[in-house]
Amino acid sequence: MTLNKVDCLETRETIAVYPLNNTKQPIGQKVKILITMLLVTIPSSIHAHPGGLNLEGCHTNKATGEYHCHKKMNAPPITIQPISIIPVAKPTTKIQTGRILEIDYDGFIVWLDCKRHGAIKFRYNTQKDTGNAKRLDTFFLDPKVPSECQQTTAKAYGSQYDRGHLVPANHLDNSDTAIRETNTMTNILPQVASMNRGAWLLTEEIIECYRDIDKLLIIGGVIWGNNSEDDYFLQSHGVATPDAFWKVIIRGKGQDERAIAWVIPNSPDAKRKNLDGYLVTVDEIERITGEKIPVADYEKHNKPSASWLIPRGCNKS
């Protein structure tokens, strides 16, 4: 890979520019079946309350001033396109690859797609829980990231969607700087509230408990898909709503290396009790995303029968 260095006139920083790899890896029959199984049918309507709606099925709540929508959410099948992402290199301040920015925060890395104004991938390592830094209630844009590459506001999404973390604040509570940076909107995307507080939260709790047992590497990302029916925030935030999220946890070394992976749909049905239904192999993650996950070959094809159990007595706070 040829690496050219250029001087960025706006930031006065030296950034590394890589040629963008447009090679796409075909998605096999097995992955198509996988996505069909994971597809969740979203309820055809949501509860309405009094008030006139515009042509898009939206209005402003006069009591709270919040603009939200009541449009139908019949989601077409997810079509997943392979993602071309640069390999993880030694962290630098910022790496620009075409329209992909690698943002190296304190304790985690986020890959940002400028065209989508949102992240496509994240990565971090955990250590034993020895910190107690306080999580912030506020969210903010990153002043070092070009405005055309991130969301237009840090305001709440509303419409039954959370500002969902890719890298959770609690896993980086050993550093005031790191826990603050997890609330940057480059690390946030619209997540259905019941999914963010359900299946996605359970994966975070598994990490929280197992980081006291072993060193962990977490790699995850976004499946944007092609469902435009729930893209409520294009006007307010400049970002679409992802169709699904994926995550891989890796622990151990050599013959003791173990991995677990999920593809979790961004839907109301993605509750805690349904997490096991979203288990996949690491090999399937690689086929869907085009990523190369640093897991031993023998472990890439293994899918546990159930998600890792939360150890008794684990402090998940």
Q: Which CATH class for the 21-40+120-300 domain?
A: alpha beta
Q: Which helix (H) or strand (E) holds 6?
A: strand 4-7
The C-alpha atoms of residue 5 and residue 267 are separated, in whole angstroms, by 42
Instruction: Report the pLDDT value the prediction gives residue 66, as an integer from 0 to 100.
Output: 56
The C-alpha atoms of residue 132 and residue 305 are separated, in whole angstroms, by 34
pLDDT digits (tens, 9 = 90+) for 292-303: 999 999 999 999
Averaged pLDDT for residues 182-191: 98
Q: Whole-number mean pLDDT of the chain?
A: 79
Share of the chain above pLDDT 70, in %: 69
Residue spans of beta strands (DSSP E) within 32-185: 58-60, 67-69, 94-97, 100-105, 108-113, 118-126, 161-165
Averaged pLDDT for residues 106-132: 94
Q: How far is CA 181 from the centre of its chain?
A: 15
Q: Which two tokens stand for residue 222?
A: 């976004």
**More reliable by pLDDT, 223 or 57:** 223
**More reliable by pLDDT, 44 or 300:** 300
Question: How wide is the angle at C-alpha 133 spanned by C-alphas 129 and 136, nearest 5°?
Answer: 130
Given a cut of 90, whether residue 254 has pLDDT beyond it is: no
Instruction: Report the pLDDT value the prediction gives residue 45, as an integer from 0 to 100.
Output: 38
Contacts of 175 (CB under 8 A, 6+ apart): 106, 107, 131, 133
Task: Enumerate the domain spans of the chain.
Answer: 21-40+120-300
Question: Dihedral, CA atoms, 102, 104, 109, 112, nearest 10 degrees?
Answer: -30
Instruction: Report the pLDDT value the prediction gives residue 316, as an integer from 0 to 100.
Output: 79
> In the structure, what pLDDT confidence band is assigned to residue 263 with cuts at 50, 70 and 90?
very high
How many CA atoms, within 13 angstroms, populate the side-chain half-sphere of residue 186?
A: 27
Given a cut of 70, whether residue 115 has pLDDT beyond it is: yes
The pTM score is: 0.71
Instruction: Report the pLDDT value the prediction gives residue 57, as an integer from 0 to 100.
Output: 57
**More reliable by pLDDT, 10 or 59:** 59
pLDDT digits (tens, 9 = 90+) for 9-26: 333 333 333 333 444 444
* CA distances in angstroms from 148 to 25, 115, 118, 122, listed in the order given: 28, 8, 10, 20
Q: How far is CA 267 from the centre of its chain?
A: 14
* CA distances in angstroms from 189 to 89, 136, 182, 301, listed in the order given: 24, 17, 12, 30
Instruction: Report the pLDDT value the prediction gives residue 153, as an integer from 0 to 100.
Output: 98
